């Protein structure tokens, strides 16, 4: 008796199964990314901003942002804005933070606009006037 292999091809290809697994994993990953992208297209609502801002105020009051943030109402507001969105804070207020007693409606609106656009993952360069 000889120990020759059969001449007909095997029905199972050992490389076929890993390829199918890779394809399945890739498809599932694309579905997850697609679902995440769809859910993040909705801009952040004013209510969500308000809730997050309240949480930031709580953190500042509890001292999580340091004593400087509790020094004055203006410092507290700067810290809360930084807590809400460091990216928007740096873009809008970074080089010129709010000063004592200052109410800056224009920059406040730019900041809010930035928050909405960051939720969409669209970074907009805001032209300061």
Q: What is the pLDDT of residues 11-40, one digit of tens each?
A: 555 555 566 655 566 566 666 655 555 555
pLDDT average, residue stretch 38-49: 73
97: nearest Cα among 63, 71, 58: 71
The CA distance from 58 to 105, in Å, is 24
DSSP state of 68: G
Question: Pick the residue with more confidence: 49 or 121?
Answer: 49
């Amino acid at each position: 008796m000889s120990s020759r292999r059969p001449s007909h091809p095997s029905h199972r290809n050992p490389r076929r199964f890993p390829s199918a697994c890779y394809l399945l994993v890739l498809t599932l990953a694309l579905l997850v990314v697609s679902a995440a992208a769809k859910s993040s297209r909705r801009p952040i609502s004013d209510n969500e901003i308000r809730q997050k801002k309240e949480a930031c105020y709580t953190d500042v009051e509890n001292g999580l942002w340091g004593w400087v943030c509790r020094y004055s109402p203006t410092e507290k507001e700067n810290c809360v804005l930084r807590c809400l969105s460091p990216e928007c804070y740096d873009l809008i207020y970074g080089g010129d933070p709010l000063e004592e007693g200052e109410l800056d409606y224009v920059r406040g609106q730019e900041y809010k606009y930035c928050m909405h656009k960051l939720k969409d993952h669209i970074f907009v360069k805001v032209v300061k006037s």
